[in-house]
Structure 1
Amino acid sequence: MKAKVNISLLFTLVVLCEIYIVSFRINLLIQFAFLSLLLFSGKTQFSKSFLRTILPVILLVFLGFLGTFLDSYNRVDIIKDISHFIKPVFVLCIGFLVFKAINDQRIFLRTIIHIAAVTAVIHVGGILLFSNFLSRSISDIRGEYGLDNFIEIFAMFFLILAPKTAIEPLYKKDIYRKILIALFAVSIMFYFSRTMFGMIFFLGLSFYGYAKLNKRTLKVLGAFIAVVVLFYMYLETLKPERNSKGIEALLYKIKIAPGEVFNAKLDRSNHTKLWDHWRAYEAKRALILMNENPKSYVFGNGHGSLVNLKFKAPLSEEGMRYISVLHNGYIFVLYKTGFIGLFLYLFFLVSLYRRNYHNQTQSDMVFFKILVATVGAYFLFTSLIITGIYIPQDSILFLLGGALFHENKT
């Protein structure tokens, strides 16, 4: 029992480092060290099911070398890309091995909830005690106290749904569960994140069984589309301004969200419009460069390739003309590994999502199937806006690794 507690505590520290330490390199070193510790401790047996599931992610690491061999890149940029592609493999393996060693569904869920509770207390406490949030803008609060934290959404759903499965109650007193749900709700609201609000809806659909394509789902989807259309028509009448504060600033960000991802008809000299549609501009530049080098559509440009922005963007103190990682995860994978890599990436995410269609009767088995499918749906969505599994800071892959163990076990 003591060994399980120690492993759970170390895992918690590793995940909190991922959330709070900005440096990608430091986190990668911490995760490599922790994974090495797990492997040397004898917890080295991965299930065939787990290896089959993550095989596309492993293949993407090697596929990136094909484009590298065809061109000459800076060694530092090559190492940087290899690190970005190998990190998801490390994290998935850590999640699997940690919860294989613990081997307890209840401890798995409680560990994720406790990690989320720590982040929620820090987030809410910081805003209420130190931010003077009544007089500050939403952008200032988000910039200082965090843009998003999706592990809190998953933890909230665990607390809501776990009592309805065969998994034993997570807490002896239900009041603890209700307090944590309230804490997560407040923290999520204070992130003022369009992506988090959207993910609550989509994850709710998935957790409650509406992710399968059937008549019931199509009705819900149709109703949702109608509500969204009416809401955007309402936003057009409000005309929220870009430099507004408070709720109006959030409404402006929601209004420009579709164009931020898809509107690539931009004038670089108009910086206001450019920043509002930055994700689309990055993707546009990557596709233009691929059109100039058609063979890159097959194998990609490889590890070490950079996207030329055509001007020095103020993304750092010195400004950056060339970038390696894009916000659009699909274009990022396509640019680095071509259509072969994009197919592998989509195959991995869809294989997770397809757990929704597995017919099971045991309720705890259903819970973990749906959990894995929900994470798949989560990454299918976030790959459009925050790089999917290749985002430099992400805690959900740890959760996925553990969920894959429990799904396979049940």
Structure 2
Amino acid sequence: MATTINKAFLYQLLFAICIYIPYLDNYELTFAVWSFSAIITITNTYSLGILKQLLCFTFILVLAIIVMFFKEYQLYFIIRDFTYLIKPILGLLIGYQLCKKFPKKVFQTIVYTSFFIAIIHLCLIFWALAFYKATTVNDIRFFGGFFSDFEVYALIVVLFHNKFELNFSKKRILLFTTVIAFSVFMYLARTNFIQFVILFLAIKGYFQVNKKSITVVVSVLIIAVIGYSSILLINPKRNGPGMEAFLYKIKIIPEEAFKTKINRDDWKEFNDNYRSYENIMTVRQVSREGIYPIIFGQGLGSKVDLKQEVWLGDMNLRYISILHNGFMTIFLKTGLLGLFIYFISIYLLFKKATESHPIIQNINLLLLGTGVFLIFSNWVFMGVYNLSDNKSILIGLLICFREIYIKTNNKNRAINSIE
């Protein structure tokens, strides 16, 4: 028994490592650790549910490879694109395979891992405040990190601990809730706030169409409109002190990713709406080459010409192979066909497992909320293809846990009926 517990703990530790590695912002390291983890945890059987997800992302990758053979691209960008497009496949495999190693500790592991990440995040912020005098929103995010989708999931699990059978004491629940919630807030990430609202509404069942859910969703939208209108009245400045910079980011949300005309000579307008600029140039470039690229994309190794050098990360670039927008990235590599398959992968998250047990219903709702959030996340932040993202591991984990729980429940029912 002791050996079994030790093995389970080692796999839980491996899960925590795989979740945390992307936070280090070193994709080569992430790819190496994820590849190694996926290989050493290979299992004998895979369910139809996970295979459907894997096939969607595999088809996208294969399509991009096939189109590549009709082009002439640099080997470096071909290899880089391959590692980017295979990332969600690795994540799904890791989550699914590791879940089988500690099926009774899944949600506890999620919470403990998130608590560990939150402590590190808050320590980084304290360090930045104490030694680098980081007082602006941009400085705090630079030192502490820009977002953490995983911590939002953990926060939802802790807040709804009864729904996920978390057998923690009240003191521990309060500790985890306080620390993780404060950490999530201190990322000051608009996407994380939106993610929290979406997942919260999903777990409460408000995405199921009925009179109550329509009332709640409409009320949330009205509150959002009133809040946004208030921010417009305040009119926060671009580089304002403290929270003003964050409010400015909220103010420009409607234009930032949806603007169709951008003045490249106005650096403020260009910088604030850069995501839209990427989308515009991608659509123009792919459309210019005719119907076949529109349908099948431009393949692995393809790049978008921005027509000018842009400071991205730590270098000036004119040609980029990966965009902020996940949908546009897939469109560039695999065209409308790849986009269609990508939407199927999201649609599969909406499909419920037919099981009446409350925890299965709650996992269904959590995956439903994930699907809704992925539509938004892909538009502004690349979704599961983001190099710092770990949602694919969580999706694989939840799919596997749901299947194991259903199978165990059915077996118990069969035993009880015999008795």
Range class of TM-score, shorter chain: over 0.9
Map of 1:29 onto structure 2: 32
**Conservation of the 8 A alpha-carbon contact between 2:199 and 2:366:** no
Q: CA deviation at 1:183?
A: 0.7
The superposition leaves residues 103-133 of structure 1 with CA deviations (integer Å, 9 ceiling, x where unpaired) of 22xx111111111101111112232354149
2:107 — aligned with what? 109
3-state SS of the aligned residue for 1:319? strand
Aligned residues: 399
C-alpha distance in structure 1 between counterparts of 2:212 and 2:289, whole Å: 45
Counterpart mapping for 1:328-339 below 5 A: 328-339=325-336
> Gapped runs of 5+ residues in structure 1?
none
User: Normalising by the residue count of structure 1, what TM-score does the alignment of the two structures yield?
Assistant: 0.93
Aligned-pair CA distance for 1:225: 2.5
CA distance, structure 2, for counterparts of residue 122 and residue 297 of structure 1: 44
Shift in Å, 1:191: 1.2
Cα distance per residue 1:196-236 (max 9 Å; x no partner)? 11111111111111122333332223222222222232222
Are positions 1:187 and 2:191 aligned together? no
The counterpart of 2:402, out of the listed 398, 403, 407, is: 407
Match of 2:194 in 1: 198
Tell me: CA distance 1:353–1:48, structure 2 relative to 1, closer, same or farther (3 Å).
closer
Determine which of 293, 298, 301 is the counterpart of 2:295.
298
Conserved 8 A contact 1:286-1:331 = yes
% identical aligned pairs: 25
**Distance (Å, rounded) in 2 between the aligned partners of 1:270 and 1:343:** 36
Provide the C-alpha distance between the structure 1 equivalents of 2:199 and 2:256, rounded to a whole number of angstroms.
22
Counterpart of 1:323 in structure 2 is: 320
Instruction: Verify the 8 A CA contact 2:206 2:212 in the aligned structure 1.
Output: yes
Supply the AA of the counterpart residue of 1:177.
I
Per the TM alignment, residue 135 of structure 1 is displaced from its structure 2 partner at its CA by 6.5
Aligned-pair RMSD on alpha carbons?
A: 1.7
User: How much has 1:182 moved relative to structure 2?
Assistant: 0.7
Alignment-derived partner of residue 96 in structure 2:
96
1:267 CA displacement: 1.2
Kept after mapping to 2: 8 A contact 1:308/1:322: yes
Task: Give the gaps of 5 or more residues in structure 2.
Answer: 407-419
Deviation, 1:134, is 8.0
**Change in CA separation of 1:116 and 1:325 when aligned onto 2, cut-off 3 Å:** same
Who is 1:351 aligned against?
348
The 1:274/1:12 distance shift into structure 2, 3 A limit, reads same
User: What amino acid maps onto 1:96 in structure 2?
Assistant: Y
Match of 2:213 among 206, 210, 217: 217
Change (3 A) 1:214 1:66: farther
Match of residue 148 from structure 1: 147
What SS does the corresponding residue of 2:309 show, helix, strand or coil? strand
For residue 74 of structure 2, what is the aligned residue in structure 1? Answer: 74
Question: Aligned partners of 1:365, 1:399: CA distance in 2, in Å?
Answer: 15
Deviations 1:10-64 (A, max 9, x none): 22122221222x221221111111111112xxx3321222212332111111011
**Is contact 1:77–1:305 with CA below 8 Å preserved after alignment?**
yes
Task: State whether structure 2 residue 360 is matched by structure 1 residue 365.
Answer: yes
Asked if the contact 1:44–1:97 (Cα under 8 Å) also holds between the matched residues in 2, the reply is: no
Equivalents in 1 of 2:121, 2:383: separation in Å?
23
**Structure-1 residue corresponding to 2:16:** 12
User: CA–CA distance in 2 between the matches of 1:51 and 1:379?
Assistant: 19
Partner residue of 2:6 out of 2, 9, 12: 2
Name the counterpart of 1:285.
Answer: 281
Q: Secondary structure in 1 aligned to 2:240?
A: coil
Could you list the per-position Cα deviations for residues 58-103 of structure 1 after superposition, in whole angstroms to 9, with x for gaps in the alignment?
1111011232122211111111111111111011101101111222
| In 2: Cα distance, 1:366 partner to 1:25 partner | 37
SS in 2 for 1:384: helix
Aligned in 2, Cα 1:360/1:36: closer, same or farther, shift over 3 Å? closer
Deviates more, 1:381-390 or 1:48-57: 48-57
How has the CA–CA distance of structure 1 residues 135 and 292 changed in structure 2, closer, same or farther, with 3 Å as cutoff?
closer
1:381 alignment counterpart? 376
1:311-370 CA distance string (max 9 Å, x none): 011115541000011111111111111111101000110110233xx5542112112222
SS in 2 for 1:151: helix
